Structure 1
Amino acid sequence: MELRKYRRADLPAVLRIIRETILTVNEKEYTQTQLRAWASCFEDERVWADRFQSGSAWVVIMDGELAGCSLLTKDGVADLLFVHKDYLRRGAASRLLWKMEAEASTRHDYLRTEASLTALPFFQVMGFKVVERQIKITKGISIKNIKMCKKLNT
């Protein structure tokens, strides 16, 4: 497993992984309508190119393939942590999160995230606490997620 900084050339593969992960891994917690609305947010490369360049982003390479991604925003949010369904439970998400925690700890007291219902158990195991359950409106569709945070430098 290789963890490296995100490169602009990674964007098409990153967006594909995000869309596929949303549509497959989250099937138990969300309806197909919710999944399609959520995944459709990751179609416009121009929007996401700027977003990935605005923070600290990483990718994980496994078996020669881009297997996951993450973005740490400048204000201390662990964002866009996704691992392709074929590489789940092999340590990629943990490695990405540990990298975000290490970088965030140099500037922030807390690392925050908005976790999907599917990702909630992972973030809890990694030491995050629930702050608030919320409903986000995405393309006119209500989608539940959970605001969470983790104290850094404890």
Structure 2
Amino acid sequence: MRLKTYEAKDLFDAYQLFRETVQKVNSHDYSPAQITAWLGPDTPAVQAKWQATLLDHQTYTAWQDDELVGFADMTSTGYLDRLYVSADHQGEGIGRELVTALEQAIPVSQYETAASITARPFFMAQGYQVIKQNTVVRDSVAMANFSMVKKANK
């Protein structure tokens, strides 16, 4: 597995990996209606917004041969926005490597994320702590996530 800096040409693969991962992995913790709301519409406008933020943030992609197996992005203030690892490659350390690379690239005193029910145990294992449980509403569908923080190792 190798990490690379995100490039505009990676959008299709990253966006598809996100959709497949949510459908296959997060469906264990969220209802079909919640998964549909989470995925949202698949439109050129949504993909353009993804492209803009992925290019604006520090974003890394993880590859095995020519297959995208994960990606993650973080703002310059230390907010980890997205972390997705292929359903076929869960538990292989890909998420840990992506998060470590982002934390090394963005030297701030504290990192933050909003973790899904599914991702919460992963983030706790990386040293993040739950600050509060949230109820997010998308398309009139409520779902839980967790505000989490990690103090940087200095």
Q: What TM-score results when the alignment is normalised by the length of structure 1? A: 0.94
Please report the RMSD computed on the Cα atoms of aligned residues, expressed in angstroms. Answer: 1.2
State the alpha-carbon separation in 1 of the partners of residues 109 and 56 from structure 2: 20
- TM-aligned CA deviation for residue 101 of structure 1: 1.2
Aligned to 1:121: 121
Aligned to 2:53: 51
Task: Give 5+ residue unaligned stretches, structure 2.
Answer: none
For residues 31-64 of structure 1, what are the alpha-carbon distances to aligned partners after superposition, in whole Å with 9 as ceiling and x for unaligned?
A: 0000011012565211111111111001000143
1:142 aligned onto 2:142? yes
Aligned to 2:12: 12
8 Å CA contact retained: 1:18, 1:42: no
State the alpha-carbon separation in 1 of the partners of residues 112 and 41 from structure 2: 21
- TM-aligned CA deviation for residue 12 of structure 1: 0.7
Q: SS state of the match for residue 122, structure 1?
A: helix
For residues 76-100 of structure 1, what are the alpha-carbon distances to aligned partners after superposition, in whole Å with 9 as ceiling and x for unaligned?
A: 1111100010111111101001011
Task: Give 5+ residue unaligned stretches, structure 1.
Answer: none
* Percent of pairs with identical residues: 28
Shift in alpha-carbon separation, 1:42–1:5, aligned structure 2, 3 A:
farther
For residues 86-117 of structure 1, what are the alpha-carbon distances to aligned partners after superposition, in whole Å with 9 as ceiling and x for unaligned?
A: 1111111010010111122x2x1001000000
Letter in 2 for 1:56: Q
Q: What TM-score results when the alignment is normalised by the length of structure 2? A: 0.94
State the alpha-carbon separation in 1 of the partners of residues 116 and 147 from structure 2: 9
State the alpha-carbon separation in 1 of the partners of residues 112 and 148 from structure 2: 6
Q: Of 69, 85, 88, which aligns to 2:87?
A: 85
Aligned to 2:98: 96
Letter in 1 for 2:132: E
After TM superposition, the runs of 4+ consecutive aligned structure 1 residues lying more than 6 A away are none
How many residues align? The count is 152
Q: SS state of the match for residue 27, structure 1?
A: helix
Letter in 2 for 1:151: K
Q: SS state of the match for residue 51, structure 1?
A: helix
